[in-house]
Amino acid sequence: MSLAQAKIVTDSLRGIAEVELVVVRTTGDRLSAAGSPIEWKGDFTRELDEALLDGRIDFAVHSMKDVPSQVPDGLRLAAVPVREDPRDVLVARPRRSFDDLPRGARVGTSSPRRKAQLLAARPDLEVIEARGNVDTRITRLSEGRFDAIVLARAGLSRLGRLDEISEVLEPELVLPAIGQGALAIYARRDDRATLALLESLDDSASHRAAEAERSLLATLEAGCQAPVAGLARVNNGSVTLSAGVFSPDGSKALREESAGPASEAASIGRETGRKLLGRGAAALIEAASS
């Protein structure tokens, strides 16, 4: 979670309650700053969970896509604010669309999910590692290390850098990561006062979408290195979940879509996950982790 994301939440609460912003640097923050791979989603949440459970903080703000599917004992997902646009985007130099990238173009991403889907659409591309924060990746793009990079639109939005985008990639081409664009606010399960305070930040549609996507992830038992994607949309009391599991090289792709009442979002996520497992998703996930 970035400091900017935390400030979005604390600023929303000012005038309702007195809020102190406490910065907790996580293992994931340190690994990301060093350009090292993240092997476990909990690297971004463990220190914050500990600070919550021992009472040093009253609630924690995470990027939803960095949160493990299992909630630690004693904690609760208290609120999911209105979700940002969850789609991925292409940033290219010179500016051009995905289809217009030359054959053999070097596309940078650190995400196995993105790599698999990019190669599924364009096997001719050279998809290479691009680590570091957004500023670092864009700088390296400008230096000519890549012809294009793929990033989350939400991240560019929070940094005020939407003008960098060459093309927004639709989910039919690249399905987003589970929870991408959403924030997750956690509090202690027994802290009624804080839970009541955070209710004002919760957006029902975003929360239901998160439930569907996280239930899908838990059913698939996929780690952060697995090429798994999912996007839930809530409209007029219904939720539609699109999900995909891919081979690392993009040569195999399993996609499923399920829909139903938003009140049954978690069940729809489990149902979609079971459909994918029935079609061989476990083998693709295992191939990615081996």
Task: Give the residue numbers annotated as catalytic, written as ranges.
Answer: 66
β-strand pairing of 167-169 with 253-261: unpaired
Take residue 14 and report the two structure tokens written for it: 């000012």
| Greatest alpha-carbon span in the chain | 57
Determine how many CB atoms are found less than 10 A away from the CB of residue 21: 12
Q: Which contacts of 16-21 are long-range, i.e. CB under 8 A and separated by 24 or more positions?
A: 16/197, 16/200, 17/197
Annotate 230-246 with b (16+ C-beta within 10 A) or e (fewer): bbbbbeeebbbbbbbbb
Measuring CA to CA, which residue among 182, 178, 242, 251 is closest to residue 214?
178
Reported as half-sphere exposure (CB side, CA atoms, 13 A), residue 111 has a value of 24
Rg (CA), the chain: 19
106 contact partners, CB below 8 Å, separation of at least 6? 125, 126, 128, 145, 146, 147, 148
